[in-house]
Chains A and B, each alone.
Chain A
Amino acid sequence: MNGFLTYVPIILMGVWNTLILSTAGFLLATLLGLLMAFTEVFSPKPISIVTDWVARVLRGIPLLLALLLVFYGLPRLGIALPNIASAIIGITIVDSGYQAQLFRGAIEGVGGRQLEAAYSIGLSKWGAFRHVIAPQAFRAALPGWLNEFTIVLKDSSIAYAIGVTELFTQAVHVAQVVLDYLQPLILVSIVYFSICYPLSIISERARRRLLAMGVAAV
């Protein structure tokens, strides 16, 4: 042994920052994504088109690039933030584009027939949305939303580029000290896997259950 075991707690301390980083970035992206999705579906055409293009631009930026842009860009605007905050902003920016797409697909996937049926029993536009579209769209988006979180969690490792002391960064630092990458990388793999795998199973089950209900998940 090369003293790796003494470093295990140091690596595992990175879990907290990984969780904070990915959860905060992901939930903020959910808020923004919902906002963009609603705007795309329910606002007048010009606004909807502009929003759609904003989302497409956001989806086109690699996360690594977004992180570096925020990291170098904010100080230029006179804003000094801790690295982890920059990372959260970067994740939020990129992921909100993906979540906008997810929620939009879910809303549109419910389809015109359901809307027709809702109007036919006398519901208003808002009533149709609240009682018919939204409940189905929410369910349809659930599996993809969970899956999106696992993507954000894994990609939060890219915050290593701007020196956030999250799981992957800690592993690399320890690897450089103990001169062995295998053990630290295996250790963090186990951590990532034990969070992502259960979530992906839950997501898959939800997808199947929804399909049995006749709701096609996004």
Chain B
Amino acid sequence: MSFDKLLDLAYSYGGLLFNGLLVSFYLTALSYLIGFTLGVLISIARTYGVRFVKAVCQAFVELTRGTPMLVQLFLIYYVLPRVGLALDPLSAAIIAIGLNSAAYQSEYLRASISSISYSQWEAALSIGLTKLQAVREVILPQSIRVAIPALANELIYLFKYSSIAYFITVPELMYVSKFVGSRTFLYVEIYSIIAVIYVAFSIAATEAFKFIEKRTSIPGLRISTRL
């Protein structure tokens, strides 16, 4: 591709692509937050809950992990309106990706909770903390730290997976690229450019998380190496 063409492209469609990137970030951030919040709740419910609650959560997690995210996205976008829950494309994507991520994040956290030894639990109770306090003050802070690499990885995954919102016309990076491609017929050029953006973000985020991890690490708290 000639440099002129690139400049032209940037001039005519740069703003559009930038907006697409912002939508991708927004989509990723919100669905990650939903995933994290629900993930924490589900992991606690699956560890400490009564049998019924455990079973419901397990069913949700297994069903979600056993089917494609794309199917879930379509279910939420195309089927929910039939029960009177019509969502705009962006909301549908945020909810679908968020729920999907909740299943995965709950699994990372559940594994890290079970890696915290029972003696921490006993010690927490022994100073008079209630069970709820023991979870909140002792078990969760430790297990979240242990799960940080997996949770950070999940954020990077979500950024990449947010591209499937393209299928339901959310104007995120992939979708606007397709639009620019169809206007200019420079599909390969435009896709190459956003490939660079995706890759740059993934690598930069990986490095940033490694740095944060080192900075915030607590001596003796073993962190699972999943990056």
> Taking the nearest CB of chain B, how far is it from the CB of A181, in angstroms?
4
Given contacts A60-B199, A185-B74, are A68 and B66 in contact (CB under 8 A)?
Answer: no
Closest chain A residue, CB of each to CB of B70: A157
Which listed residue, A59, A69, A188, A192, touches B188 by the CB 8 Å rule? A69
B75 in contact with A62 (CB, 8 Å): no
Q: How far is the CA of A4 from the CA of B74 in the complex (A)?
A: 18
Residues in B whose Cβ lies below 8 Å from that of A175: 78
In the complex, chain B residues 28-66 whose Cβ is within 8 Å of any chain A Cβ: 62-63, 65-66
A36 CB within 8 Å of chain B: no
Q: Which of B66, B192, B199 has the most CB of A within 10 A?
A: B66
Count residues on chain B whose CB falls below 8 Å from chain A CBs: 37
Residues in A whose Cβ lies below 8 Å from that of B166: 64, 161
A192 in contact with B198 (CB, 8 Å): no
A155 CB within 8 Å of chain B: yes
In terms of DSSP, what is the predominant structure of the interface of chain B? helix
Closest chain A residue, CB of each to CB of B78: A181
| Stretch of A81-89, A113-121, A134-142, A193-201 with 4 or more beta carbons under 8 angstroms from chain B | A193-201
Given contacts A64-B164, A181-B78, are A192 and B67 in contact (CB under 8 A)?
Answer: yes
How many CB-defined contacts (below 8 Å) exist between A and B? 99
Given contacts A72-B188, A182-B79, are A189 and B67 in contact (CB under 8 A)?
Answer: yes
0/1 per residue, B74-104, Cβ < 8 Å to A? Answer: 1100110010000000000000000000000
Which listed residue, A61, A157, A188, A193, touches B195 by the CB 8 Å rule? A61
Closest chain B residue, CB of each to CB of A182: B79
Residues in B whose Cβ lies below 8 Å from that of A197: 62, 66
> Taking the nearest CB of chain A, how far is it from the CB of B136, in angstroms?
29
Residues in A whose Cβ lies below 8 Å from that of B67: 154, 189, 192-193, 196
Which listed residue, A59, A185, A193, touches B66 by the CB 8 Å rule? A193
Which listed residue, A62, A73, A181, touches B161 by the CB 8 Å rule? A62
A47 CB within 8 Å of chain B: no
Binding site for A on B (CB under 8 A): 62-63, 65-71, 74-75, 78-79, 82, 160-161, 163-164, 166-167, 174, 178, 181, 187-188, 191-192, 194-195, 198-203, 206, 225
Beyond the given A65-B174, A168-B70, A189-B71, could you list 18 further A-B residue pairs with CB under 8 A, ordered by the A residue number?
A60-B160, A60-B200, A61-B160, A62-B160, A62-B198, A64-B174, A65-B191, A65-B198, A69-B188, A154-B67, A157-B68, A161-B166, A181-B74, A182-B75, A182-B82, A185-B74, A192-B66, A197-B66
Question: Could you show 14 A-B contacts with beta carbons less than 8 Å apart?
Answer: A56-B199, A59-B202, A65-B191, A65-B195, A68-B191, A69-B192, A73-B191, A160-B70, A182-B82, A185-B71, A185-B78, A196-B66, A196-B67, A200-B65
Q: Which 4 pairs show the lowest CB-CB distances between chains A and B?
A: A60-B199, A60-B202, A181-B78, A193-B66
